[in-house]
Amino acid sequence: MARTAVKKERRAHIDVQRRVRGWAPRTADLARWVNAALGRRAAASELGVRVVGPAESRRLNAEYRGKDRPTNVLSFPAAPLARAPAVRALGDVVICAQLVRQEAEVQGKALRAHWAHLVVHGTLHLIGYDHERDADARRMERREIRVLRALGFANPYRSVT
């Protein structure tokens, strides 16, 4: 009798909430970018992606970061639990669609590529990456570049001009 290997599900569950009417990537694209950023950590994980407008982004940025202006992406890691649940909640990524569009235009980047970068960036924050120190920023940027390249996007830190 031949044995068949059962491939373990390696995709995170993504809950997408759209709070604005403007263009945002399809849920399937958001999920693909999140899963690429998570890599092996995607298995048995879940996170939320909220697409918001400038007013909500500004409110959240002011309340949680003390900066009274909208920002392109915010990450809110979930609190660690005392015992390991069957599904690990990672937290939420909040993206301001209008600001992402404006930045892409000003920077001369494709809108879809800029979205992918910010989704990857925000997701990496949920799993412990940050850019507070130079060494940490370089580590995070290398991971972003590697993930985005695997998804077919160019290095977001290279000048477009």
Domain ranges for the chain: 13-150
Token pair, residue 135, equals 């060494």
CATH class assigned to 13-150 = alpha beta
Rounded average pLDDT over 50-55: 97
pTM of structure: 0.90
133 Cβ contact list (under 8 Å, min separation 6): none
User: Mind listing the pLDDT tens digit for each residue in 68-112?
Assistant: 999 999 999 998 775 666 778 999 999 999 999 999 999 999 999
Token pair, residue 24, equals 């945002």
Q: How far apart are CA 35 and CA 42, in angstroms?
A: 6
In this model, does residue 4 exceed pLDDT 60? no
The residue among 65 and 41 whose pLDDT is bigger is 65
Q: How far apart are CA 33 and CA 10, in angstroms?
A: 14
